[in-house]
Chain A
Amino acid sequence: MTYQFQWSVLWSGQSGSWLLQGVLTTLGISALAWVLAAALGILSGALRTVPWRSLRAAASFYVEFFRNVPLLVWMFFWYFGVPPLLPRPAQEWLFNHGAEFWAGTFALGVYHGARMSEVIRSGIQSIPRTQFEASVAMGLTTFQAYRLVIVPIALRLIVPPATNESLNLLKNSSVALTISVAELTFQTRQIETYTAKAIEALTAGTLIYLVLCVSIASVMGWVERRVRIPGLIARGG
């Protein structure tokens, strides 16, 4: 391998500010998509366990349709497929105001929502059925039982797999570069363009993803310890 490493390309010139912009875009798109994914995941995860068949079917359709089509296809769908359905002035406005960012957010959020849904469903189904029956016997409606008892318990049980899913979401945000979102991976390529030092740029990107993910994982580890329910989830380690 006749490659000469030159790590200084990472801090000379504009590289530093590009990487920072990339990190901010990655965090921005991931955070918004995560909120969307969590909302859709909780909703459809809960609906998949309710006693009404048509709601269960609708939620199952959402999950199976959105998680079984590749993320890349969803990126193209939201970026190329959706805007033509809007009136021309709305399209024009959107294209001038970061259409690619919003398309990327929806693609990520809806796709990961479907995956998150399964995590939440497994949490709900791990709660003994008697909890739900007891809630109803106390006079709560099904909606109240879910909102006040079932979902809060489920959310506290599924912190580890939800962390997993969140980290995946963060890393999958790099797919948005295919629709020209200038996130972290995009910016590492940008450094490559200017310096022709691809391995250095990729290494910087890799380390930044690693640091972001490890930080999120440790915050979630703290959350897990804070919200664990004694008796329902064993204390690890």
Chain B
Amino acid sequence: MKRLLSVLLVLALLSAAVPALAETTLEKIARTGTLTIGTRRASPPFGFVNKNNEWVGFSIDLVEQAIKPVVERKLGKPVKVEKKESTPATRIPLLATGAVDLIAGTMTDTRPRRESVDFSLTFFVTGAQFLVKKGSPIRGIQDIAGKRIAAQQGSTNARIIRERVPGAQLREFPDQPAAFQALTQGQVDAYTNDGIQLAGLKAKAPTPADWVIVGDFYSYEPYGMALRKNDSDFRQVVNVGLMEAIESGKYAELYEKWFGARGEVPYPLTPENQRFLQMQVVPK
């Protein structure tokens, strides 16, 4: 037992010693020549593996086409972007331990999360809804008491359901495919997630016409890119990248590519959200 305690003590000391060696994210990128991002493999169209087995998406494009050029300009040398899978449960530890430098997926900016990580500007706005089989009696959050509802583990939606409708039988799955499988087979009556994710899931389903997205947004989900806390130089670079993209029309171009009428998941940008994005761009 004594030996065990001393091993634990050494581990604790090691983890305490790490901050002394810390370098800023920009220094790390300059040293390694790599910007490592944490993103998703199964959240179309933000980050997913497409039919040609390529790992692509809107969030990935924003990093590669809007943020990477600004990082390169700042460092004066080319960098490459490396992608890693990050789930809601792993993304903050991945960031904190330095395994990734930026979370560019589908992460909602929240106040508790801001105590652990910093966020970029909001790059996408959505809200939670329900995906149900065509003909289901569920029409929104008012109908789910006593029903079996799937949600994504570690998401803000599960938390809201638990607080607002304690009578709902919540089943939380670690990823979308398992939750969708449960919905298909009837283990659950509805699957709740951010509206845009449900739209992505529906578009990718074998028969999209069998599924309906119902309900008003019962939550506000502003997506931001997360980065390590107290690294304002890197945050500035990320934000400048996003601002320049919104200003130059690059953002609109990428939005059209993924969410336009012919995009992966058609989801028109509302005038309200467009205005919100533009208001975040501060003057040059």
Contacts and interface: CB of A to CB of B under 8 A. Distances in A.
Given A3-B116, A178-B178, A192 B186 contact: no
A193 interface: yes
Contacts, number: 96
Contact of A193 (B96, B159, B186): B159
A92 B228 CA distance: 46
A192 B182 CA distance: 24
Interface in B97-148: 97-98, 110, 112-113, 115-117, 148
Given A192-B154, A193-B159, A180 B185 contact: no
A28 interface: no
A218 to B, nearest CB: 11
B92 interface: yes
Interface in A174-220: 177-180, 182, 186, 189-190, 192-199, 202
A196 B116 contact: yes
Q: Is the interface of A mostly helix, strand, loop or mixed?
A: helix
Nearest to A193: B154
Contacts of B185: 80, 83-84
B158 interface: yes
B78 to A, nearest CB: 26
B107 to A, nearest CB: 11
B96 A189 contact: no
A95 B147 CA distance: 11
B27 to A, nearest CB: 13
Given A186-B153, A192-B92, A194-B159, A4 B229 contact: yes
A199 B171 contact: no
Nearest to B231: A2
Contacts of A6: 115
A72 to B, nearest CB: 11
B244 to A, nearest CB: 26
Interface string A152-193: 000000000000000000000000011110100010011011
Contacts of A179: 173, 178
Contact of B97 (A1, A76, A79, A83): A1
A100 interface: yes
B89 A198 contact: yes
A2 B93 contact: no
A2 B181 CA distance: 39
Contacts of A197: 115-116
B93 A80 contact: no
Contact of A199 (B96, B178, B188): B96
B187 interface: yes
B34 interface: no
A2 B154 contact: no
Contacts of A83: 185, 187
Interface stretch (B14-22, B43-51, B193-201): B14-22
Contacts of B18: 1
Nearest to B24: A2
B127 to A, nearest CB: 18
B96 A1 contact: yes
B19 A1 contact: yes
A30 to B, nearest CB: 20
Contact of A80 (B15, B150, B181, B231): B181
B230 A177 contact: no
A190 B186 CA distance: 24
A193 B155 contact: yes
A88 B98 CA distance: 49
B187 A189 contact: no
Contacts of B166: none
B159 A177 contact: no
B174 interface: yes
28 contacts: A1-B96, A1-B97, A3-B116, A4-B115, A6-B115, A80-B185, A80-B187, A92-B186, A95-B187, A95-B188, A100-B171, A178-B173, A180-B150, A180-B153, A182-B172, A189-B154, A190-B154, A192-B89, A192-B154, A193-B88, A193-B154, A193-B156, A194-B112, A196-B112, A196-B115, A197-B116, A198-B89, A202-B93
